[in-house]
Amino acid sequence: MSDETPASILLRSDPRLRISRASLVRVAAAAQRLLAARTGAGRRADILVGASPRESVPGAVRLSRAAFDRLARSGSLESGLRAFLGRASGEHLLARSLPVHSGRGRASGEHLLARSLPVHSGRGREPVPARRPAPARAAASRGVGGVLLFRRLLNSPDKELGMRPMHQGVFYLASALRRAGFPVLWSDSRIALADGAFATDLAGLDALLAEAGGVNLVGLTLYDSYFEKAEALLRHVRRRSPAFVAVGGLMPTTHPYETLAHLAPAHFVVRGAGEEVLPRLMAVLDGADASRELGPEKLEALRGLEGLGFIQEGVALLSGSDRVLRVADLDRSGLDFSLLEREETRSGVVLCLSRGCASGCRFCSSPDRGRFHGKSPRAVARDLGAYGRRLLGLYGSWSRVPPAAFGVGFYDDDFLADPVRAAAILGIVGRSPFHIRFLQASIRSFFPREGARPGTGPRKELLEALDPGLFSPRLKGAAEDPRPYLYLGTENLCDAELRRLGKGYCFRQVESLVGELSRRRIRQAHHWIVANMDTSLEDILENLLRINRLRWESGGYFDVLRPVIGHLTSFYPTVSYQRAAAAGRLPLIRTRRVLSAGLPHGELEYPLVEHDVPEDPEVRRLAAELPSLSSGGQGAAVPGAATSSSCGGGGGWDDVFGGVLYRLLLRSESLAWEAGDPRGARRLRGLVDRYHDYPALARRRGRRVAAGTPDAAPLFAMTKANMQLFVTRRCQLRCRYCPVAKRDADMPPEVMRRAVALLMTHRSGRVRLDLGGGEPLLRPAFIGETLRCAEAAAAAAGKTVSFYMVTNGIALDDAALGMLRGHDLRLEISLDGKPEDHNRYKVPHEPGLDPYRATRRGLEAALRAGVPHTVVLVASPGNCRRLAANVRHVVEAGAREVEVNYALGVPWGTADSRRLLEGLGEVAEACGSRLRAGTLVLGNLRGRVEPALLNAELMADTDGGLHLMSEWMFETRPPCGAPVYRYGRVGGVRDINTLYWTRFHSYYTLLRLYDGAPEVRRVILDNIRMGERVAAHVAVLKAKVFGKDGEHGPVRTAGLRADSPALS
């Protein structure tokens, strides 16, 4: 607080006039601005509105309702106020600055201010002792009263996963209240993430309010992002409690008058550091709550506070609201660790020991942007000691304290903003039993700020202070935390984007820092904001390339926090919002709602911003998809470990890049063949062509600086632990939908042995060898030799191997089954249903062969032999309407594991695809009880990957050449181009882990092969769309059959009767 008298305005109206809240705030705010420019006694004023004011105040400006309305609607409000306030003489202004006398004959302002607490200056000045008595005297004279606070109103950020930290602002606030002797009650309600709810644990909150009769103030931290839910939560509180409501946080600090005008359940707004004013506010309230209006004594006492706004029943009071309260000396703003219970300490504690940062990011909404002040190293040591004593008190002895409880997370905006201070604190931690869970910092803090060139290296003293041992638990029994040590607000890796964001550094500096930290084995997670208004697709792709490059260079010590931030959010108070407004680009900022009271010139309007909208519609699409694409398959707080290659989202950043390129390629084909936009298609295809070989681009531009983290998955490496062998290209059938070109070609034994040896180099301990063709059982001796060879090689390598064979079943006799039995092998037998449908598409190549009868014999033999198998039905446009009947036929034949495939390489019209989906629904309905019981398996419900056309498999051809499976999808149609990716031959590749592909590569391969064949490209797009429809439909069926979250639920799809003897 300042030692200067706060500028204050008290506006009182007859409540019968029902003047709107916004009008009261507008007039009071304008008067406050005028008074703030004055000095001395002229910084106070009273305005009374109405014919019968409740109090007579000497020197007050009196207005009729009509005069007030004219003033409130005036477009030049401050000019009108200046005229009103200027009418009073200096003597009258002096009279207005004196305290109002109470009926008991005491000056209420002096009386109540004597009970308030000393608070540190907001401008670096020490408090005036005469106005601020000691806390003990304040607490001694106050009445009953307590404060209810929300322990963790927001869901924990990803970096706090596994910890139960108290919100840091609330921690400081509660500590100040406890020091002053005011009881603090805790609610564990939090802002709900679901759209249909506003808060969690409302029952617990209601019980707390019902039991806590002494609560006379409820405090809440308010941010733009959840204004509506906070408003609903506070309305809920007001209906159940007479307590006053006070709000602080970013929105009240940057826009107190808008908050006061629009947040109807709130009585008080606090600007800045709440611990500076809330204990004094509690002393002034002296146990009073909102069930009664505040009397003149208390109103006058409120005028001695700063950074405060108040409104209640026609009364608006602003006191020092032109100032943002700041703690002048954080060393004197102590934390009360007795507030922490066991649940907040088991996994360590999160502390914020500084305010603000030294950067000037344009999108930052903090009032401390560009301003940094923090606790001294000596004070930090005291806090750590106090935390240690709290642990001892909670657990009784040091031996009972969980080792993880000694972890400390530093959640400062920029822990390293003062490098000398940061190094000293790190040294203190290093000499203590504590270890650092994480710390948050800025890239800019690692580099000299004045006169530094882009080539300037990071500060050596900071790098040396960041000893990786600081992040390792010191006590025995403590598990190493796999999460990152540093969370860095990098935001982007493209220089153009960094300039747009106002970050103050370039990619060259980021790369330099990543290298230095990685050499020191410091794990880092960097934030990435994918898109702003001006982001281009090239910017996004270049970011992905550089992420992969830094991942490769750092050996896995570098990563990006997941899920990524899809859009920049230019909140109303930010520089980026103001720049957009000045440039006429506000349509590119999406708002949920504009808080408005219909005042002249849009005064007190406040847009609740959702996010910035990229000008490029293709960037909009990608920015909306990247958060989910980047988060799939792994915990968002543990970036890095790849799990599987897919069309993105299932693994590492290499797979995410592949997923993005897949989407751009699919969009390009959609523009070409569905939307009639060849220019847009060429633009996207050109970008895909430029970045399609991103593994080579990343390696070519980077250089390895670290060996790699022990748990880091290899980058650009094969993750699927299987390989398919083309045993032969011969077959007894010429199926109409089979794309493989048949000829008299068999795989030699030496090629098979090399392929097996290559598969055994996979880093996984369990591998699978797939046998196909052609018809593999045309070579039974070769199959037997392959099984024995693979099992021997696996045993020698310390691995286990399984087998999967695709067969038409014609040669599946007792001899063949005897050879297969005893191995970890599953058969896939192709039987398309009833004889007429099976034989319609399975055309015999050998004269006199009845395909259905021969396959049926093979299936019956497999059933007798007990060899595990799945029966696959291929549905085609010509027979899809009979799908349910064909499935019933196969089940009646004895099959207990069935899967339905749709034919590839043929176009599916809308009507045919609908019939196929309806048939799957009929099967799910009829089979529901057996599927739930496990006596029948429908493979489509067990996680089949779609679109099937892009099945990302590595295949060894009969001659030993390695290819993607997609190369054969249209093999019977001569390709127009050559395969773009070369994987070599089984004898020439030493390590299968060095091979890399995703479903993007399968798709791109197909298009490069058939770029000159429009009819094939249309079929490719049609088959992909078919796969998308099937995947969506199967997800619905799965939920209907098995119920959401595993609960059983009825299948309600029309079709076969549930009591069908074959399927039910």
pLDDT tens, position by position, 903-939 = 999 999 899 999 999 999 999 999 999 999 999 999 9
Q: Are 164 and 344 in contact (CB under 8 A)?
A: yes
Give the separation between CA 598 and CA 596, rounded to whole angstroms: 6
Q: What is the pLDDT of residue 110?
A: 32
Q: What is the pLDDT of residue 664?
A: 98
Three-state SS at 307? coil
Q: What is the pLDDT of residue 455?
A: 58
Q: What number of other Cβ atoms are within 10 A of residue 317's Cβ?
A: 26
Q: How many residues does the chain have?
A: 1064
Characterize the bridge pairing of strands 268-270 and 308-312: antiparallel
Q: Are 1041 and 932 in contact (CB under 8 A)?
A: yes
Average confidence (pLDDT) over 466-478: 88
Q: Are 139 and 181 in contact (CB under 8 A)?
A: yes
pLDDT category at 55 given cuts 50, 70, 90 is: low
Average confidence (pLDDT) over 611-637: 83
Q: What is the mean pLDDT of the chain?
A: 87
Does 641 score more than 70 pLDDT? no
Give the separation between CA 706 and CA 515, rounded to whole angstroms: 8
Q: What is the pLDDT of residue 226?
A: 94
Characterize the bridge pairing of strands 354-356 and 372-374: antiparallel
Q: For 980-1027, write each residue's pLDDT tens digit.
A: 999 999 999 999 999 999 999 999 999 999 999 999 999 999 999 999
Q: What is the pLDDT of residue 164?
A: 64
Q: What percent of the chain has pLDDT over 70?
A: 86
Q: What are phi and psi of 348, to 5 degrees?
A: 105, 180
Greatest mean pLDDT among 117-126, 377-386, 450-459 lies in 377-386
Does 637 score more than 70 pLDDT? no
Give the separation between CA 121 and CA 132, rounded to whole angstroms: 12
The full set of domain ranges for the chain reads: 8-319, 722-1046
Q: Are 810 and 855 in contact (CB under 8 A)?
A: yes
> Could you give the C-alpha distances from 668 to 543, 682, 1008, 1011, in angstroms and in order?
21, 7, 13, 13
* Amino acid residing at 947: P
Does 633 score more than 80 pLDDT? no
Q: What is the pLDDT of residue 650?
A: 42
Does 86 score more than 70 pLDDT? no
Q: Are 1000 and 647 in contact (CB under 8 A)?
A: yes
Kindly write down the DSSP assignment for every residue of 426-464, as one continuous string.
Answer: HHHHHTSS-EEEEEEE-GGGGS-SSS--TTPPPPHHHHH
Does 635 score more than 70 pLDDT? no
Q: What is the pLDDT of residue 433?
A: 95
Which candidate, 834, 842, 852, places its Cα nearest to that of 738? Answer: 842
Q: Are 108 and 55 in contact (CB under 8 A)?
A: no
> CA triplet 405, 426, 366: central angle to 5 degrees?
85
Q: Are 402 and 447 in contact (CB under 8 A)?
A: no
Does 339 score more than 80 pLDDT? yes
Q: CB-hemisphere CA count at 13 Å for 875?
A: 26
Average confidence (pLDDT) over 540-549: 97
Q: What global pTM score does this model have?
A: 0.87
pLDDT category at 240 given cuts 50, 70, 90 is: very high
Q: What is the pLDDT of residue 119?
A: 31
Q: What is the pLDDT of residue 917?
A: 97
How far is CA 386 from its chain centroid?
34
Where do the DSSP E strands lie in 249-351? 268-270, 308-312, 315-319, 349-351
More confident residue, 116 or 597: 597
Q: What is the pLDDT of residue 56?
A: 63
pLDDT category at 156 given cuts 50, 70, 90 is: low
> Could you give the C-alpha distances from 865 to 614, 769, 783, 817, 869, in angstroms and in order?
62, 22, 18, 7, 11
Average confidence (pLDDT) over 274-287: 94
Does 832 score more than 60 pLDDT? yes
Which candidate, 443, 392, 388, places its Cα nearest to that of 414? Answer: 443
**In the beta sheet, which residues pair with residue 901?**
874
Does 120 score more than 70 pLDDT? no
Give the separation between CA 356 and CA 370, rounded to whole angstroms: 7
Q: What number of other Cβ atoms are within 10 A of residue 431's Cβ?
A: 8
CATH number of 8-319: 3.40.50.2300
pLDDT category at 631 given cuts 50, 70, 90 is: confident
Longest Cα–Cα distance in the chain:
121
pLDDT category at 28 given cuts 50, 70, 90 is: very high
Q: Are 981 and 964 in contact (CB under 8 A)?
A: yes
Average confidence (pLDDT) over 333-349: 92
Homologous superfamily, domain 722-1046: Aldolase class I (3.20.20.70)
Q: What is the pLDDT of residue 73?
A: 79
Does 516 score more than 80 pLDDT? yes
Does 161 score more than 60 pLDDT? no
Give the separation between CA 244 and CA 238, rounded to whole angstroms: 8
- 159 Rama class: left (phi>0) / alpha (psi -120 to 50) / beta: alpha
Give the separation between CA 736 and CA 874, rounded to whole angstroms: 11
> Could you give the C-alpha distances from 987 to 159, 773, 957, in angstroms and in order?
46, 20, 13
Q: What percent of the chain has pLDDT over 90?
A: 72
Q: For 673-701, write each residue's pLDDT tens digit.
A: 999 999 999 999 999 999 999 999 998 86
Same CATH topology for 8-319 and 722-1046: the answer is no
Q: What is the pLDDT of residue 111?
A: 33
Return the minimum-mean-pLDDT range out of 316-330, 452-466, 567-581: 452-466
Q: What is the pLDDT of residue 477?
A: 73
Give the separation between CA 721 and CA 760, rounded to whole angstroms: 9
More confident residue, 140 or 306: 306
Average confidence (pLDDT) over 740-761: 97
Average confidence (pLDDT) over 315-335: 92
Which candidate, 564, 406, 557, 411, places its Cα nearest to that of 483? Answer: 557
